[in-house]
């Protein structure tokens, strides 16, 4: 095996080893019984009752719509990733287009501290009802829920709420003002820019109390990867400073800042180089 093939092989191995740090598992809806992609499918206004209408441009906006008890959350602006290296990188982290028979444009996934509960938010284009559902016989807080396959529910609007019935109703309670929003990550997110196409935050980590991660395309094909740590452990902080010291040899640039119990590490460079830089 020549040196070039060895380098490619090692890069792939390194990438596979860090993927769990970027993604948590989102339950995938079965696509075995999908509706036909209707040309004349009705719009959202065909569903009676209240519709969701909430700002949905970042992970913070998603957390603003869900109740407390969140362990991890992830936001992806799918349109921004189209035609970029991120497109294939995130492919397995989003629901298939067959879920709505329309293009997903933004997606948000959250899981909860009971270890099993989850919920998603989606925007689609066009905003059509081109999928199989049963109309719930009763409304919830003014919202007429749609029952999907396998006991999953949808609330219609921008964004769509998707998940088990109790979690969809919980999000409606937050939107309606009858339940408190998730605020577990407010402190760490106050140090992040909310304009990245990929964002993730979690408290399920051994190297910090919480950490936030984002990927953002910059000019001329350069990418940035921002990692923010709350109460980072010493071994991880030392590793980051060591990698900063010889970063130019690897073709990337580091910027490490600290403020109180927050450590922020911004790495810029070629996409495939920055995602191979260590996180812990």
The reply to whether 172 and 248 lie within a common domain is no
Same domain, 87 and 127: yes
| 15 occurs within a structural domain | no
Q: Does residue 210 sit in the same domain as residue 83?
A: no
- Predicted structure pTM score: 0.87
* Enclosing domain of residue 215: 205-274
Assess whether 88 and 158 both reside in one domain.
yes
- Tell me which of 27 and 148 has the higher pLDDT: 148
* Joined tokens for residue 252: 């990337």
What is the CATH number for 217?
3.30.70
pLDDT at 3 over 70: no
Q: pLDDT band at 6, cuts 50/70/90?
A: very low
Closest by CA to 68, choosing from 29, 132, 116, 112, is 112
Banded pLDDT at 1 (limits 50, 70, 90): very low
Total number of domains in the chain:
2
CA angle 78, 89, 71 (to 5 degrees): 75
117 inside domain: yes
Q: Are residues 172 and 44 in the same domain?
A: yes
Measure the CA dihedral 270/275/277/280, to 10°.
160
Q: pLDDT tens for residues 198-240?
A: 999 999 999 999 999 999 999 888 999 999 999 999 999 999 9
Which domain-ending residue is among 126, 159, 176? 176
Give the pLDDT of residue 33. Answer: 40
Name the pLDDT band for 34 (thresholds 50, 70, 90).
Answer: very low
**Does 170 share its domain with 243?**
no
Residue 247 pLDDT grade (very low, low, confident, very high; cuts 50, 70, 90): very high
Range 32-39 average pLDDT: 48
164 shares its domain with 241: no
Q: Let me know whether 50 and 168 are in one domain.
A: yes
- Is pLDDT of 109 > 80? yes
Is 200:107 a contact under the CB 8 Å cutoff? no
The answer on 137 and 56 residing in a single domain is: yes
pLDDT in tens, 147-193: 999 999 999 999 999 999 999 999 999 999 999 999 999 999 999 99
Same domain, 161 and 231: no
Co-location of 149 and 247 in the same domain: no
Domain co-membership, 163 together with 76: yes
Query: Predicted confidence band at 87 (pLDDT cuts at 50, 70, 90)?
Result: very high
User: Is residue 35 over pLDDT 90?
Assistant: no
Which pair of tokens denotes residue 110? 């959250």
């Amino acid at each position: 095996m020549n040196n070039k093939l060895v380098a490619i092989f090692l890069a792939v191995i390194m990438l596979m080893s860090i993927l769990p740090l970027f993604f948590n598992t989102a339950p995938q809806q079965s696509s075995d019984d999908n509706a036909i992609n209707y040309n004349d499918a009705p719009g959202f206004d065909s569903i009676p009752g209240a519709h969701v209408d909430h700002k949905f441009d970042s992970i913070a906006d998603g957390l603003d719509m869900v109740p407390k008890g969140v362990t991890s959350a992830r936001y992806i602006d799918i349109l921004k990733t189209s035609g970029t290296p991120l497109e294939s990188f995130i492919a397995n982290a989003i629901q298939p287009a067959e879920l709505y028979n329309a293009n997903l444009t933004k997606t948000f996934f959250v899981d909860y501290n009971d270890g099993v509960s989850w919920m998603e938010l989606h925007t689609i284009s066009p905003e059509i009802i081109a999928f199989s559902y049963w109309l719930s016989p009763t409304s919830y807080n003014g919202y007429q829920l749609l029952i999907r396959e396998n006991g999953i529910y949808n609330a219609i609007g921008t964004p769509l709420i998707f998940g088990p019935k109790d979690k969809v109703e919980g999000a409606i309670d937050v939107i309606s003002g009858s339940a408190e929003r998730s605020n577990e990550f407010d402190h760490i997110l106050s140090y992040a820019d909310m304009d990245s196409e990929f964002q993730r935050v979690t408290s399920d980590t051994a190297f910090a109390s919480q950490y936030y991660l984002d990927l953002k395309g910059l000019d001329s094909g350069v990418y940035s990867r921002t990692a923010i740590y709350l109460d980072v452990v010493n071994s991880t902080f030392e590793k980051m400073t060591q990698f900063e010291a010889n970063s130019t040899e690897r073709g990337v640039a580091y910027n490490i800042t600290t403020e109180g119990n927050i450590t922020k590490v911004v790495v810029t460079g070629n996409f495939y180089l920055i995602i191979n830089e260590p996180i812990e």
